Chains A and B, each alone.
Chain A
Amino acid sequence: MRVVAGAELPPLAIELTPTVVISTAIATRDFTPVHHDPAIARAQGSADIFLNILTTMGLVERYVSDWAGPSARFRGLKVKLGVPAYAGDTLTFSGTVASVTESETLIEVIGRVSLGPHVTAQATLTPVALG
């Protein structure tokens, strides 16, 4: 199926349990204590442990890749960071096909938590053909 500009990606909600925050931080080899130690995170003025940036990049990729399937290839991923995504919150992704050309597909993604947008992203893919 051809992908057209304006099409929406199915939304995805991810419960940010402490397990998610910590396992993704460690899987990205980021051992900074604010991503796994609540006492240190709070002492630095945060509400709780929060997602690290490498995970935000990874979750945006996963959200777009769930939709685009294994034939598409990422050329780039641009992310603007907003409010922190704390453990206990829910990160909800929505996405739109912003433009389609013969050589690439541009997807715009927003990931929101209860405080507001956590991430605003643009993913550039090779042409996408949906099953």
Chain B
Amino acid sequence: MTDERDHLMAVAGKAIAAGEGPRIAAPLPVNAATISHWTEAMGERNPLYAGPDAVAPPAMIQVWSMEGLNRDPDRRVRLPVDDVFEALDEAGFTGVVATNCEHTYHRYLDLGEELTSGTRLTDIAGPKRTALGDGYFVTWNVTWYAGDEPVAEMMFRLLKFRPKTSATAADESRNVGAEAAREPYPLRPAVNRDTAFFWDGVREGELRIQKCGDCGILRHPPGPVCPTCRSTRRTHAVASGSGTVYSYVVHHNPPVPGLRTPFVVAVVEVPEGVRLVGNIVRCATEDVYVGMPVRVTYQQMDDELTLPMWIPVEA
């Protein structure tokens, strides 16, 4: 296993050190036909993208360098990332799922501009245990140029994983990136008639807050009676999913089944006006602070249970 990792890291290290690969010319200049095909398909009606002075929609940037249908494998230029993908495939990490795509636009593009693009590998991380299987996260950057001027950039990250043998892998794709094993998670929430709406919401990817059916005040944790107007009619609102850390503890001891210590338990205040208790994950315990902006994420703990947790909002 260590030999395998050393080999992969050596291949990746060479590719990272090689820097940006050859600049490849986009097959078509920025043009009105490709833009209008795109805006029609997307339902985009912004007048900026139509007429003789049209500019290209910025999210189209990668479209300009797509090779199209008639790809000739002999003519394809080899990129620094290709060595890494081949090494991962040979090691059995044949599955692939994209996790992040980030564009930076330096300026908008005019009709007739001819672009080139250069790609460089920037990072490899692993092996990581994910719901899809063990794998490596591979990150690369593409820069698009008009002449020598960089006009846009893209960071792209994907997971190359060793597929599990079971046919359920596709169903597990909802848990991309979560580093959880699929053994039954030992801590189960109390689901009852007062709280079922909350857990149903979590499964749907919604953070639901109980709302009085009469006076409309939000309350959490859920309960049968409105503490303000004593109504027993209740409904719920869907929170935006953002919040800030109101208070937290770092739990070191005693050991808790299903959890690795230390872990963070926080009270998170959401802009809708209530506070919720939850774990903060994908963040070093020492980096958590009161007032930290966080956003909810839904972690599938096992085949049945999904828990809402909180992750830092990226700067």
Contacts and interface: CB of A to CB of B under 8 A. Distances in A.
B99 A112 contact: no
A73 B152 CA distance: 14
Nearest 5 pairs between A and B by C-beta?
A29-B66, A27-B41, A116-B205, A61-B59, A45-B170
Contacts of A57: 59, 62, 101, 103
**What is the interface of chain A mostly: helix, strand, loop, or mixed?**
mixed
A24 B169 CA distance: 26
B100 A81 contact: yes
B189 interface: no
B255 interface: no
* Chain B interface category by residue count: 35 or more
Contact of A117 (B98, B105, B205): B205
A23 B205 CA distance: 28
Contacts of A3: none
A94 to B, nearest CB: 8
A75 B151 CA distance: 11
B223 to A, nearest CB: 27
Nearest to B35: A27
A59 interface: yes
Nearest to A110: B241
Contact of B45 (A53, A66, A80, A112): A66
B43 interface: yes
Interface in A40-84: 45-47, 53-62, 65-66, 69-70, 73-84
A47 B170 CA distance: 8
